[in-house]
């Protein structure tokens, strides 16, 4: 790209030789050095240890760093690069031993850039930002998106940041007009929602017009940007379009001058789809056991009733439905204050309230006692009144801000289970009173599992990525058992709990364990990776789940043989750890209604497939990855995509 490239040594770059960094030095040069660019001084520091012992010591780096900083004018901004991050506190002090400390904050430290934990994560520590970015080529340890970060600095060293998602080339989809149908608002306006993205450049503008028999019935209209993917508008069509086939044509113009076009035809009606919800859907899969089987039977045809955008991206925070409202939460990878929990009227998508959170909410939200619960990556748990959107109570959980809290919540009627590692707690849902706190296991890298509660509500299942699966007594917090062998320590899947047995995925196997003892009841080794966050859907005759690269798979429940496979499209963004290429990723949990299995995929499409044979029944393209599980209530189901859209679908 004809720009300078600077290398920073990591733990796996320390290899066998005369000394650990010998090979690195022979290819890339020194392992600690500094340079100036613009008005900022950049410092690259080395990893202290790794696969082999380095030839340098902390004391060596201390003396070099002290001398380097002595040459820098007072007040000049500095940025430090290291493969790892040295602190989770509010001060950045380099210490090489007694009497050898350097206060980097006193030297106007603006940022510490690292990558060791393979996640997309920004935190503020005092006046400096700690910035971690996962690999641009594949999914991260915590299912972080394949992406790279663009960081800008002004003359004073103030930082701006933008995460750019890899592999997307001028994509555009009209998300609101699919299957020859498009939604309208209560006052009869056509809803227009377009998802568009290109890795190499931002979208500058999106325009559209509506045509009938090749004649424009609207002028070219400009759309409003909602997120990095999504643009929206609403327009009233002439009465002559009623009941007629019309075509919507959209054009995205990118900042580098390139364009992308999409069109979709549909039968226009000015009458909105009537929506009425049924039972509440309060956890991932509808309940803290993640069973994901609905009471209501959804039938074709399925129509999009409305679509609304929340103004920020959605990661793995699946929607929930409570008392006629749909709730979802967003993330903000660039800490611009856009993270929130949002409530919308389920009938038409109108905004009921929005509660801003301190940082990204990246996993399952839940409801109990008339409250909506969400925890952010900095470890704050919010209890928000479902009706008013006002904060009922909050709690700072005892977790470190690095690598970040990405575990999902679980709740029954009276208790919310939150946090992770020794910050895992059971709290009275109404008051926030602590019932118990885990003291038995700690955390490592970011974990993307959601807590699971047994049907008798006696056992709570948690997890540590690269550590183990843990079972705590849900009433006392006492550790019941831990399991790490056979690949279970790499688990991303949240167990679905059924009559004493728990089903989950890990590495390339389906596991069935006793929830009480951890005894392995069955293991099915599969010829493909299931490093996905999907919880298995257990039906009378099948076990159905998403995979890291083969789409949706069903096993015969008795024999555990593969019964059918439905391969979804290529992932728009890779999230499953260490996967890239032509991968059909499905991170969401399949939901069963009658014989219809509904699931979202990383190719940006909602699917309904037949439980018995995997045949396609229906699909809806969004043009933005779907990492979340749908919520079903009555004859309606709700889904979210990465662009921040909430979709309301009405079935017969």
- 380 close to 395: Cβ distance less than 8 angstroms: yes
Q: b/e map of 52-68 (b: 16 or more CB within 10 Å)?
A: bebebeeeebbebbeeb
pLDDT the model gives residue 538:
98
pLDDT bin (cut points 50, 70, 90) of residue 390 is: very high
pLDDT bin (cut points 50, 70, 90) of residue 443 is: confident
pLDDT the model gives residue 350:
97
Average pLDDT for residues 215-220, to the nearest whole number? 96
CA angle 520, 525, 526 (to 5 degrees): 145
- 317 close to 364: Cβ distance less than 8 angstroms: yes
Cα–Cα distance list, 284 to 26, 64, 290, 293, 383 (Å): 51, 52, 6, 11, 17
Average pLDDT for residues 557-574, to the nearest whole number? 97
For the chain, give the mean pLDDT.
95
pLDDT the model gives residue 118:
85
User: Per residue in 154-206, pLDDT tens?
Assistant: 888 889 999 999 999 999 999 999 999 999 999 999 999 999 999 999 999 99
- 646 close to 652: Cβ distance less than 8 angstroms: no
The answer to whether residue 548 scores a pLDDT higher than 80 is yes
Average pLDDT for residues 538-563, to the nearest whole number? 97
Average pLDDT for residues 275-280, to the nearest whole number? 96
Average pLDDT for residues 418-430, to the nearest whole number? 95
- 406 close to 386: Cβ distance less than 8 angstroms: no
Decide: helix, strand or coil at residue 455. Answer: coil
pLDDT bin (cut points 50, 70, 90) of residue 487 is: confident
pLDDT the model gives residue 608:
98
The answer to whether residue 1 scores a pLDDT higher than 80 is no
d(CA 225, CA 228): 8
3-state SS of 202-238?
Answer: CEEEEEEEEEECCEECCCCEECEECCCCEEEEEECCC
- 91 close to 105: Cβ distance less than 8 angstroms: yes
Query: What is the Cα 20 distance to its own chain's centre?
Result: 36
pLDDT the model gives residue 88:
67
User: Per residue in 288-299, pLDDT tens?
Assistant: 999 999 998 999
pLDDT the model gives residue 358:
95
Per-residue DSSP letter, 107 = G
Q: What percent of the chain lies above the pLDDT cut of 90?
A: 85
User: HSE-up of 491 (CA within 13 Å, CB side)?
Assistant: 30
Average pLDDT for residues 8-15, to the nearest whole number? 96
Q: Which residue has the tokens 């939604």?
A: 183
Query: Which carries the bigger pLDDT value, residue 300 or residue 579?
Result: 300
Average pLDDT for residues 22-42, to the nearest whole number? 95
- 447 close to 469: Cβ distance less than 8 angstroms: no
pTM: 0.96
From the list 555, 366, 335, 394, the residue with the least C-alpha distance to 453 is: 366
Instruction: Write the Ramachandran bin of 243: left for phi over 0, alpha for psi from -120 to 50, otherwise beta.
Output: left
pLDDT the model gives residue 467:
85
Q: b/e map of 246-255 (b: 16 or more CB within 10 Å)?
A: bbbbbbbebe
Average pLDDT for residues 458-464, to the nearest whole number? 94
């Amino acid at each position: 790209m004809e720009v300078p490239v600077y290398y920073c040594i990591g733990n796996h770059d320390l290899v066998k030789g005369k000394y650990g960094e010998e090979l690195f030095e022979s290819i890339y040069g020194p392992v600690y050095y500094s340079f100036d660019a613009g008005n900022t001084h950049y410092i690259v520091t080395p990893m202290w240890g790794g696969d082999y012992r380095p030839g340098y010591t902390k004391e060596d780096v201390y003396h070099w760093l002290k001398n380097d900083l002595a040459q820098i004018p007072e007040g000049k901004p500095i940025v430090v690069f290291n493969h790892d991050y040295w602190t989770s506190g509010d001060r950045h002090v380099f210490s090489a031993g007694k009497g050898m400390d350097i206060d980097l904050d006193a030297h106007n430290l603006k940022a510490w850039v690292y990558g060791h934990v393979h996640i997309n994560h920004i935190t503020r520590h005092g006046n400096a930002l700690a910035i971690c970015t996962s690999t641009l080529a594949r999914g991260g340890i915590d299912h972080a998106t394949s992406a790279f970060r663009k960081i800008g600095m002004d003359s004073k060293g103030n930082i701006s940041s933008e995460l750019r998602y890899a592999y997307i080339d001028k994509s555009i989809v009209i998300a609101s007009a699919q299957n020859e149908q498009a939604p309208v608002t209560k006052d009869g306006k056509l809803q227009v929602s377009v998802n568009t993205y290109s890795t190499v450049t931002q979208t500058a503008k999106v325009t559209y017009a509506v045509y009938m028999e090749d004649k424009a019935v609207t002028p070219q209209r400009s759309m409003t940007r909602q997120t990095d993917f999504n643009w929206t508008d609403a327009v009233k069509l002439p009465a002559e379009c009623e009941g007629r086939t019309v075509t919507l044509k959209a054009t995205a113009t990118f900042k580098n001058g390139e364009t992308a076009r999409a069109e979709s035809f549909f039968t226009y009606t000015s009458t909105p789809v009537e929506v009425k919800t049924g039972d509440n859907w309060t956890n991932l899969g509808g309940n803290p056991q993640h069973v994901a089987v609905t009471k209501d039977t959804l039938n074709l045809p399925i129509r999009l009733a409305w679509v609304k955008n929340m103004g920020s991206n959605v990661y793995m925070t699946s929607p929930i439905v409570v008392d006629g409202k749909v709730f979802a939460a967003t993330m903000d990878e660039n800490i611009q204050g856009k993270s929130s929990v949002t409530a919308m009227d389920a009938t038409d998508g109108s905004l009921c309230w929005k509660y801003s959170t301190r940082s990204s909410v990246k996993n399952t939200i839940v409801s109990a006692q008339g409250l909506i619960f969400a925890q952010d990556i900095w470890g704050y748990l919010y209890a928000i009144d479902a009706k008013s959107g006002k904060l009922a109570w909050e709690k700072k959980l005892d977790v470190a801000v690095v690598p970040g809290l990405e575990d999902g919540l679980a709740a029954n009627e009276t208790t919310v289970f939150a946090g992770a590692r020794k910050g895992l707690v059971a709290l009275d849902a109404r008051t926030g009173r602590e019932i118990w706190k885990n003291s038995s296991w700690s955390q490592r890298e970011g974990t993307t599992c959601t807590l699971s509660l047994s049907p008798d509500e006696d056992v709570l299942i948690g997890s540590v990525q690269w550590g183990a699966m843990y079972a705590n007594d849900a009433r006392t917090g006492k550790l019941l058992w831990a399991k790490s062998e056979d690949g279970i320590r790499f688990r991303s899947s949240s167990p679905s709990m059924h009559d004493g047995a728990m089903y989950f995925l890990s590495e390339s196997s389906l596991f069935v364990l006793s929830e009480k003892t951890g005894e392995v009841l069955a293991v099915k080794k599969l010829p493909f990776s299931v490093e996905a966050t999907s919880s298995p859907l257990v039906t009378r005759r099948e076990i159905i789940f998403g995979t890291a690269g083969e789409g949706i798979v069903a096993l015969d429940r008795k024999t555990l043989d593969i019964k059918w496979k439905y391969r979804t499209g290529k992932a728009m963004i890779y999230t499953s750890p260490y996967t890239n290429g032509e991968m059909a990723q499905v991170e969401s949990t399949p939901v069963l209604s009658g014989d219809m299995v509904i699931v979202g995929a990383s190719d940006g499409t909602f699917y309904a497939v037949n439980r018995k044979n995997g045949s396609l029944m229906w699909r809806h393209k969004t043009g933005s990855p779907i990492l979340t599980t749908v919520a079903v209530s009555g004859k309606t189901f709700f889904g979210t995509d990465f662009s921040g859209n909430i979709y309301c679908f009405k079935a017969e």
